Amino acid sequence: MAAGTIRKDSQLATVGPYAWTRNPLYFGSFLLSVGFAIMSANWIAAAALMIPSLVIYPNVIRNEEGHLERLFPEDFRSYRDNVPRFLPRLRRYQGSFSFKQYMANREYNTALGFGAVLAVFIVKWRLI
């Protein structure tokens, strides 16, 4: 939903999942990591899946928010004051999804990665 809503660097995304959290793509990726960590049933694999989210995302989010504040100074400050950084605050969905925008943002790479990791877990499950 987020990838089909955002128009990177040309318009501040504040609708759809961006009304719930300022970082829905990272939050969604984090949830995928948690799910795969649980599915791995292995502490080492779980740590390997979770550490990037816990170490890399906070810095990336701060950098991106600084970039957005420079691009959209007034709008971003207001948005930042009203929408949580990471953990969503659910509200009624308002927004529209554009498949064309989803493809333009190239977020399908995440879906392909999700499919690949899911396939690995399915093969592991069938072999055990």
pTM of the model: 0.78
Whether residue 6 has pLDDT greater than 90 = no
At 91, which helix (H) or strand (E)?
A: none
Per residue in 35-86, pLDDT (tens digit) is: 989 988 899 989 998 898 889 999 999 999 999 999 999 999 999 999 999 9
Cβ burial of 32 (10 Å; 0-12, 13-18, 19+) is middle
Looking at residue 75, the DSSP 8-state letter turns out to be H
Place of tokens 């605050």: 89
Let me know: does 22 contact 115? Beta carbons within 8 Å: no
Let me know: does 2 contact 18? Beta carbons within 8 Å: yes
At 44, which helix (H) or strand (E)?
A: helix 43-71
